[in-house]
């Protein structure tokens, strides 16, 4: 059975054979998978009491290494989200006891966002489960095919990030 994008391509090729619709084969599938996977990941994280943005904050702080703290500016560069989004996320996560804000001892104007013990325990518990869930999403691919897809997507991403 063809995927939903193959059906779209077939219809367009029938209606407009004068146009090359090959880009839809890649872009359409990436966008469709993104929407489907976004829902899957949101549902998975919700089972663990997290929203995707909260998981992003926890994982960004965790991968920064001990003491699992970043200045707001460093966090912005590392997580690629807007200041407003970080403020809202951190406020909610502070209320949940997952992060704290501390003044930088070297620059009192600067605030650091730091994982609490509860936040560290949560990310350390959920991260392996999250990765297993992502592996499930990619189960149709062999490890070699997965590496090839990752490499190809990296080429596209580098083009737009530079």
d(CA 156, CA 140): 22
Average pLDDT, the chain: 92
Closest to 59 in 3D by CA, of 109, 128, 110: 128
Q: Are 115 and 99 in contact (CB under 8 A)?
A: yes
DSSP state at residue 105: S
Cα separations (Å) of 88 from 1, 28, 49?
Answer: 44, 32, 17
- Predicted pLDDT at 102: 86
**39-76 pLDDT, tens per residue?**
999 999 999 999 999 999 999 999 999 999 998 888 88
d(CA 118, CA 93): 11
- Predicted pLDDT at 80: 65
**89-118 pLDDT, tens per residue?**
889 999 999 999 988 677 777 789 999 999
Cα separations (Å) of 145 from 36, 52, 72, 149, 150?
Answer: 20, 27, 38, 6, 9
**Out of 71-85, 89-103, 136-150, least confident range:** 71-85
Total-model pTM:
0.86
> Over 90: is that where the pLDDT of 120 sits?
yes
Confidence of residue 85 (pLDDT cuts 50, 70, 90): confident
Record the tokens describing residue 139, joined without a space. Answer: 């189960």
């Amino acid at each position: 059975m063809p995927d939903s994008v193959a059906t779209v391509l077939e219809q367009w090729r029938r209606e407009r054979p004068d146009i090359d619709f090959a880009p839809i084969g890649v872009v359409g599938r990436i966008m469709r998978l993104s929407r489907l996977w976004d829902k899957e990941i949101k549902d998975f994280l919700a089972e663990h009491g997290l929203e995707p943005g909260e998981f992003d904050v926890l994982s960004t702080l965790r991968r920064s290494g001990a003491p699992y703290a970043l200045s707001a500016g460093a966090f912005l560069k590392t997580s690629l989200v807007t200041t407003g989004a970080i403020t809202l996320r951190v406020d909610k996560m502070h209320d949940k006891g997952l992060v704290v804000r501390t003044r930088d001892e070297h620059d009192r104007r600067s605030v650091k966002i730091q994982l609490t013990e509860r936040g560290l325990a949560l990310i350390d518990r959920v991260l392996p489960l999250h990765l297993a869930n992502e592996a499930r999403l990619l189960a149709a691919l062999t490890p070699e095919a997965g590496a090839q897809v990752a490499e190809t997507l990296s080429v596209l991403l580098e083009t737009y990030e530079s």
